[in-house]
Amino acid sequence: MFHRQIRERVRILAPFLEWDSDPYIVLIDGRLSWIIDGYTTSTYYPYSEAFSSHEVIEYREGNRARRLASRVSPHLDGANYVRNSVKAVVDAFDGSVDFYVFDPADPIVQVWDRALPRFFKTRAEMSPGLQEHVRYPESFLLAQGLVYAKYHMSDPAVFYNQEDLWVRATEKYYDTIRPVEPYYVMWELPGSDQAEFVSVLPFTPKRRQVLIGWIAGLCDGDNYGRLLAYKFPKEKRVLGPQQVETKIDQDPELSEKLTLWNQHGSSVIRGNVLAIPIKDTLLYVEPIYLRADTAAYPELRLVVVMHGDSMSYGETFEGALRQLLDGVSPSGAPARDLRADGALDQGLAREANEAFERYLDLQGAQRFEEAARELRTLRDVLRRLSGGAAEAN
């Protein structure tokens, strides 16, 4: 009864572990439980650089150089060996705590397991329902990502000159620029038809805003803990989240509309930029919300879509997509036509809009698996739309 806070409770029971700052609650068979990640760390691992939680991102805004400074995963600062070896489960009703080993190959947790018999349980002893809710910790992916941003360079000369240094991608939130935080999505791995829960962190080159790559931490089943890294070809320009935001700010009509909305007791909230793969290209979608100071929740007001350098927007996804595919932007300027004949299949556009609306609702309700199915439906409809252009050609 004296130690009811989750982090405080597990820290008293297992002070020899470092604990994550973000415990999360899950509902299993009508019972609530908290899950929190534990790390084994050391500062004595040979030939390993110590992790620094101080992050500086240099970027350009117009002709001006900018710097973003922040602290990342402070509980891991100074360690040069980190393993996400333990998951602690705290019952929200009676406060009982169970510690599960998720990395039995970690030598440090092996020593603690021998020193404290029956203190730890194996991963197999965790109930299947709890295992389905286990996720890859964001702070751990952030720490790994910042290290990988430098050590992905395998050529000694390139590494010495820091010629290919990555930094976290940036995005606009309200009126400020901030780094993109790791986010969870349902994603199908290449060669698989089964969606998996993954944590994704995108990167851009230093002082540039194009997307250069991203890393993903897998969460499901036997793939838990597996890291994937994707690198985009340097000879192709792949828009980053900040470039999509800049394109929105540079559109005269849209910028004026957002500026007007951002006054008189209301605030504009930029949603996450969704990059939807269609064949060998990407379609970018960003929802924009308006929240009144007296309202309890924001309202979807605009949806912006981009393909290449062309942008369109509307009150619904269907309306924005129609304008983009018809080759006319909201301002009346010609847009890059995705359909050779300029004709839009109204039924497909309506179907795409309905899938997008359902995706937003399910994502907001944190029903990620169902949201992933709607996102795949949206992708398939867009492929059918773009396929019409290929047939017309």
Distance of CA 364 to the CA centre of its chain: 14
Give whole-number Cα distances, 359 to 21, 47, 94, 213, 330, in Å: 29, 46, 36, 25, 24
Which residue's entry shows tokens 């038809």? 193
Which residue's entry shows tokens 């010609």? 334
Residues 6+ apart with CB under 8 A from 288: 258, 268, 269, 270, 271, 300, 301, 302, 303, 304
* Nearest by Cα to 313 from 343, 333, 295: 333
Q: What is the pLDDT of residue 323?
A: 83
pTM of the complete model: 0.76
> What separation, in Å, do the N-terminal and C-terminal C-alpha atoms of the chain show?
71
Q: What is the pLDDT of residue 336?
A: 42
Helices 252-261/241-250 angle, 10° precision: 90
The answer to whether 171 and 270 have CB atoms below 8 angstroms apart is yes
Q: Could you report the per-residue pLDDT of 308-347, keeping only the tens digit for each?
A: 778 888 888 888 888 887 765 554 444 444 444 344 466 7
What is residue 339's DSSP assignment? S
Tokens matching residue 32: 């609530």
Cα–Cα distance between 384 and 370 in angstroms, integer? 21
Q: What is the pLDDT of residue 277?
A: 65
Q: Could you report the per-residue pLDDT of 72-101, keeping only the tens digit for each?
A: 888 999 999 999 999 999 999 989 999 999
Beta strand extents in 20-169 (DSSP E only) = 24-28, 31-42, 54-61, 64-71, 81-91, 97-101, 120-122, 166-168
* Nearest by Cα to 250 from 349, 153, 331: 331
Q: What is the pLDDT of residue 327?
A: 63
Average pLDDT for consecutive 10-residue bins of the chain (393 residues)? Answer: 89 95 90 95 94 85 78 91 95 93 95 94 92 91 93 91 89 78 79 81 87 88 88 83 84 84 80 72 84 80 86 86 70 45 59 80 74 78 63 42
The set of long-range contacts for 286-295, using a CB threshold of 8 Å and a minimum separation of 24, is 286/244, 286/245, 286/248, 287/360, 288/258, 290/261, 290/266, 291/266, 291/267, 292/265, 292/266, 293/265, 293/266, 293/267, 294/265
